[in-house]
């Protein structure tokens, strides 16, 4: 008898086939969005540093004023109709995805302290039964030093949550997700 995993036992290719390609959302913002325009290139790597060509990366972020396009964000700030705040892309053969967006504003955190600009990330890949959740912060942002969530991460591991500017391309940022190993990205239990 041949026993094959079923959809309840593995994420398999089902999410990738059903939620990427023509259903991808690589532009989180449209023309006219308020804020600093950025292109974020994320690369997903396995424990050996090899590209993961069939992962899916989802991004959720606030607009430039620090307001999420979600009913639970009750701040008295205006929504930006040109900022949907959500993106989803499947990785290519090199394990990369490219999102066009804006640098998000600061959102409220615990004790009414504002959080540093960040993007919330969900990662889905073969062999994962649950999504991996992490954040992307921008290297060099002075608000990083006062961010409540980032301060919970040991100093020697915080670098795994920082996108770095691409010196050859102004406005472009690079971020690597390491699923395992010495450089494993910090993931959150949410």
Is the per-residue pLDDT at 10 higher than 90?
no
**pLDDT class of 83 with cuts at 50, 70, 90:** very high
pLDDT number for residue 126: 82
Residue 178 pLDDT greater than 90, yes or no: yes
Q: What whole-number percentage of the chain has pLDDT above 90?
A: 79
Please say if the pLDDT value at position 94 is more than 70.
yes
- Does 32 have pLDDT greater than 60? yes
Q: Please report the pLDDT score of residue 19 as a whole number.
A: 61
The ranges assigned to domains in the chain are 14-178
What DSSP character marks residue 23?
G
Cβ–Cβ < 8 Å for 60, 119: yes
DSSP H helix total and E strand total for the chain? 2, 8
| pTM listed for this prediction | 0.89
Pairing of strands 162-165, 37-45: unpaired
In angstroms, the CA 143 to CA 64 distance is 15
**pLDDT of 111 above 90:** no
DSSP characters over 27-70: BSB-TT-SS-EEEEEEEEE-TTS-B-TT-EEEEE---TTS--SS
The yes or no reply on domain 14-178 and CATH 3.40.50.970 is no
pLDDT greater than 70 at residue 14: no
- Structure confidence at residue 110 as a pLDDT band (50, 70, 90): confident
Give 142 or 190, the one with higher predicted confidence. 142
């Amino acid at each position: 008898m041949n026993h094959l995993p079923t959809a309840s036992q593995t994420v398999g290719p089902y999410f990738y086939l059903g939620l990427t390609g023509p259903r991808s959302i690589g532009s989180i913002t449209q023309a006219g969005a308020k804020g600093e325009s950025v292109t974020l290139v994320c690369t997903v790597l396995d424990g050996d540093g090899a590209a993961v060509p069939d992962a899916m990366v989802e991004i959720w972020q606030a607009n430039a004023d620090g307001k999420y396009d979600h009913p639970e964000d009750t701040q008295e700030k205006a929504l930006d109709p040109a900022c949907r705040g959500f993106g989803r892309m499947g990785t290519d053969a090199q394990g990369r995805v490219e999102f066009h967006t804006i640098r998000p504003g600061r959102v409220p955190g615990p004790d009414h302290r504002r959080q540093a600009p960040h993007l919330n990330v969900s990662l889905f890949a073969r062999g994962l039964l649950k999504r991996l959740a992490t954040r992307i912060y921008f290297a060099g942002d002075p608000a990083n030093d006062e961010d409540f969530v980032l301060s919970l991460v040991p100093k020697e591991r915080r670098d795994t949550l920082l996108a770095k500017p691409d010196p050859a391309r102004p406005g472009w940022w690079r971020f690597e997700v390491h699923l395992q190993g010495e450089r494993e990205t910090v993931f959150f239990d949410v």
